[in-house]
Structure 1
Amino acid sequence: MVYVGDFLSVDDLLFRPVHSLIDQSLHSRLGVETTNGDGFGIGWYGEGTIPAVFKDTDPAWNNPNLREIARQIRTPLLFAHIRASTGTPVQRSNCHPFRHGRWLWMHNGAIARFAELKRDLMLVVDASLYPEIEGSTDSEALFYLALTYGLTEDPPGAVARAVGLVEDLGRRHGIPHPVQMTVATTDGESLWIFRYSSERHTRSLYYSTDVVQLRELYPELEVLRELGDATRFVVSEPLRDLQGLWNEVPESSWGVIGPGRQEIRPLSPLPPG
């Protein structure tokens, strides 16, 4: 889940919605795994440009420290992630979101047969970035490949090249559908989202409708009056069932979502170069 808008309590964002991320960690409706208990993480922006990160290997529904700090944090931009391991160890360094300088990154999906591709992928990561890699996941590897290909200057192009590299190596190793991903990344100012899979059957991803429009549709809903005009959410699963609230990100697409901004474009892998 991503929240962008006015300063808001993390407790309200994580625990208050009907189908909150905490509820989804136990009862996912659309995910491949119905239970996501292999750790969690949140990343948020407050003072300065470098985001703070809090991650743990406990299930999100059973971590008292998360509830304690969530009551005290107010932020205009929150990344929150619950993890179901696809084979790598359950450890803090493998929990999302991942951070590089002012950037945050989180990923839902997998690189198929990652263990077979890992060495070739890691050799592509820029030597100056490689020492920052703390964990062993395909998600973090994808982040550092995107950084290598210029994420901080051209997010769509960098992700397209990272995907192109994985698909190229996948073909060489006889892996028919190597990429499955929904991704969110931010520098604290803009938010980019991506939905793509090699088999063109990608896990779900949604963004919320402009709050001003929603208030016109549902003037009786108090929660909409509490949200600022700039509010936007990006989620793997809707936080509540409300017609007109959620828009599915199209298959094979990238987008920029934020206050007063909504741009969705096709995503095609690029040769890594």
Structure 2
Amino acid sequence: MCRWIAYRGRTIPLEHYVTEPAHSLVSQSIKALESTASTNGDGFGLGWYGDHPEPGRFREVQPAWSDENLRYICRHLHSHLFFAHVRAATGTPITRPNCHPFACGPWLFMHNGYIGDWARLRRPIEALIPDELYRSRNGTTDSEALFLAILGQGLMASEVKRDPITATTRALAAVTELVGGIEGGHPFRFTAALADGRDLYAFRYAANDAANSMYYRQSADGVVVVSEPLDKEHATWTPVPDNSVVIARKDALVEVVSLKEFGLARTSRLPLLQMQMSA
């Protein structure tokens, strides 16, 4: 499985979390400690917000540990909200369009997880993407399909009408119904981060399987959410409960809220919530 970090807070250089820590994301690309795949060398990516409403991105297909440009970029790039991701592919090609994070309009998204029997379920899951967003489908991963399905739940509307948590839980409920509706139920793991340049949301959820690890830590600078701790000070990292979302909004305290409050319970089957389906 992939490894990632997401940060929201005071503007800092990306190297503070991506390359400098003892167990940095670059180190995790070589040897992750809490992942089913110890090596995450199938590409990497950065996403960050600066002076423009849409995020900047840098993605490459080579391993993070072998790209010297990554260290220079992380040293000189500063941001108040950024993502970093190292990939362990689960069946889709190692191409730049398949590397995280993904972006559409002001939104940035990255994912660590898995949809069982993706080859069979790809078509019905892609049907959850509205026609007007399908043109943004550049890769072949389940992650990008999930991202666009989430955006299709009203996140491209005016800012006052956006509800990222409800949009995500609706998409998760629909996919859970699809994987659970097949005899025996296929695993579905979703540990993901979503941001719009202002606020950060990080989700930990699974159906028919155990959820991938996720932690967060607050400091005077802000909050960082990670797949696994970046150092040996494990007591300073808070595990995120299963079926929960970490909410880091601008000028607000960090919250961890159960997705049950949004109608999503961790189970092998869920009622299908109303989706905005493409015709």
| Fold conserved between structures, TM > 0.5 | yes
Structure 2 contact 187–209 (Cα < 8 Å) conserved: no
List per-residue Cα deviations over 1:87-141 (Å, max 9, x = no partner). Answer: 0000000000000111100000111111111111112210000001100000001
- Measure, in 2, the Cα distance between the counterparts of 1:150 and 1:30: 34
Please tell me whether residue 63 in structure 1 is matched to residue 72 in structure 2. no
CA contact (8 A) 1:38 1:59 kept: yes
**Are 1:43 and 2:54 an aligned pair?**
no
SS in 1 for 2:245: strand
Kept in 1, the 8 Å contact 2:14–2:77? The answer is yes
Q: Which amino acid aligns with 2:248?
A: I
Q: Distance in 1 between matches of 2:221 and 2:167?
A: 27
- The answer on whether the counterparts of 1:230 and 1:260 sit within 8 Å (CA) in structure 2 is no
TM-score (normalised: structure 2)? 0.87
**Higher deviation after alignment, 108-117 or 152-161:** 152-161
In structure 1, C-alpha distance between the alignment counterparts of 2:74 and 2:88, rounded to whole Å: 22
Aligned residue in 1 for 2:104: 100
In 2, the alpha carbon distance for the partners of 1:190 and 1:166 equals 25
The answer to whether the 8 A contact 1:165-1:272 is kept is: yes
Q: CA deviation at 1:163?
A: 1.2
Q: Determine helix, strand or coil for the equivalent of 1:208.
A: strand
Give distance in 1, aligned partners of 2:17 and 2:214: 18
8 Å CA contact 1:79–1:97 kept in 2: the answer is yes
Deviation at 1:200? Answer: 5.4
Deviations 1:206-238 (A, max 9, x none): 1103x2xxxxxxxxxxxxxxxxx2421100000
Distance 1:108 1:175, change over 3 A: farther
Residue 28 to residue 22, structure 1, CA distance change in 2 (3 Å): same
8 Å contact from structure 2 (residues 8, 199) kept in 1: no
2: distance between equivalents of 1:175 and 1:141? Answer: 23
Task: Give the aligned CA root-mean-square deviation in angstroms.
Answer: 1.6
Give runs of ≥4 in structure 1 deviating > 3 Å.
Answer: none
Structure 2 CA distance, aligned partners of 1:177 and 1:202?
A: 14
In 2: Cα distance, 1:26 partner to 1:179 partner: 25
- C-alpha contact (below 8 Å) 2:190/2:211 kept by paired residues: yes
Tell me which moved more, 102-111 or 164-173.
164-173
Q: TM-score, normalised by structure 1?
A: 0.89
Gaps of 5+ in 2: 157-161, 266-270, 275-279
Could you list the per-position Cα deviations for residues 66-100 of structure 1 after superposition, in whole angstroms to 9, with x for gaps in the alignment?
A: 12322221111110000000100000000000001
Q: Greater shift after overlay, 254-263 or 42-51?
A: 254-263
Asked if 1:263 corresponds to 2:267, the answer is no
What corresponds to 1:250 in structure 2? 241
1:147 aligns with 2:151: yes
Contact 2:194 2:200 in 1 (8 A): yes
Listed as ranges, the matches of 1:1-273 within 5 Å are 1-151=5-155, 153-199=162-208, 201-209=210-218, 211=219, 229-258=220-249, 260-267=252-259, 268=264, 271-273=272-274
Does the 8 Å CA contact 1:151/1:159 hold for their aligned counterparts?
Answer: no
Gaps of 5+ in 1: 212-228
Query: 2 CA distance for matches of 1:156 and 1:200?
Result: 22
In 2, Cα distance between the equivalents of 1:56 and 1:173? 35
Conserved 8 A contact 1:3-1:78: yes
SS in 1 for 2:254: strand
Q: 1-side partners of 2:181 and 2:15: how far apart?
A: 46
Change (3 A) 1:121 1:263: same
